[in-house]
Structure formats: structure tokens, C-alpha cells
Amino acid sequence: MNDAWLDEVCWDEQGLVPAIAQDIHTGRIMMFAWMNRESLKLTVQEKRAIYWSRSRQRLWRKGEESGHVQQLHDIRLDCDGDVVLLVIEQLGGIACHTGRESCFYRKLSAQGEWLVTDEVLKSPDAIYQK
């Protein structure tokens, strides 16, 4: 496969594109992250989610520390070419660094408060051995 498909992505001024990870089995949105050209290309080549960490300024292979790898099943580009959707299988069932299934575990109540809707499946201290 040549790299011409990467030219159809509308990269922002930092050379990044937003990426949404969606669970193949449930359709649930697991997380949001950023990708650069290299991470997107490697994601396709390795068939696992690889993101660009803005805080660390380096590639971030999802699960490199936690073991919670995102195995790639499908990849989509939105109509404007400026958002990537990764259809993934979340190995280990945890996508969030808080130990929850999804990073989207808070819901806005009618009273204007953020309610935690998902329990911690595994303590972050047990996931990230420092």
C-alpha cells in the first residue's frame, strides 16, 4: 500500500488529526486522542492503535504500559477528512487510564452536575507499576 491515502487527511497546523476509538462489539466510544501522519500509518501497518502524545511529544502505542491494547478492525475518515474513527477491539476491557472501560464515564445531569456512570474496573495503581 502506498502512502497517498494519508494525503487525503486534513491535518491541523500541528500536523495532527483527532481520532476516536469505538468498540467493535458495543459501538461505545472508548476514547479520543490525537494522531500524526506517522502514528496513523503505523496504526494501519501494525493493526493496533498508535497515537501521538502531545504531553510526551512522542508516539504512544495504546497499551504499551497498561497492556490494554486496541486492536484495529476498521478505520474511517469523516466527510471533511478532519476526523479519524478507529473501530477497535479493546483488549483487557479497559481504555481509560482511570481504570474504567471508557474515558467517557461522566454524564451531565439535568441539575448541571457531572455524574460518574462507570465503575473503576482496575485500580490505576495496579495498572501502572511505577
Assess if residue 126 is contained within a domain: no
Pairing assessment for the beta strands 58-61 and 50-53 based on DSSP bridges: antiparallel
Q: How high is the pLDDT of residue 129?
A: 74
The tally of domains found in the chain comes to 1
Assess if residue 39 is contained within a domain: yes
- Confidence grade of residue 90 (pLDDT, cut at 50, 70, 90): very high
Q: What is the pTM of this model?
A: 0.93
Residue 8: CATH number of its domain: 3.10.20.810
pLDDT of 130 above 80? no
Assess if residue 129 is contained within a domain: no
CA atoms within 13 A on the CB side of 85: 13
| 15-25 residue pLDDT tens | 999 999 999 99
For residue 29, with 0-12 CB atoms within 10 Å meaning exposed, 13-18 middle and 19 or more buried, which class applies? middle
Assess if residue 106 is contained within a domain: yes
Contact of 83 with 61, CB cutoff 8 Å: no
Sign of the Cα torsion 55, 61, 62, 64 reads: negative
pLDDT of 83 above 90? yes
Assess if residue 44 is contained within a domain: yes
- Mean pLDDT, range 34-61, rounded to an integer: 97
Assess if residue 99 is contained within a domain: yes
Assess if residue 128 is contained within a domain: no
Question: Average pLDDT of the chain?
Answer: 96
- Mean pLDDT, range 51-74, rounded to an integer: 95
Assess if residue 37 is contained within a domain: yes
Q: How high is the pLDDT of residue 120?
A: 97
DSSP state of 61: E
- Mean pLDDT, range 88-101, rounded to an integer: 96
Express as a percent the part of the chain with pLDDT over 90.
94
Report the candidate in 126, 32, 118, 21 with the shortest Cα–Cα distance to residue 74: 21
Q: Domain of 41?
A: 4-120
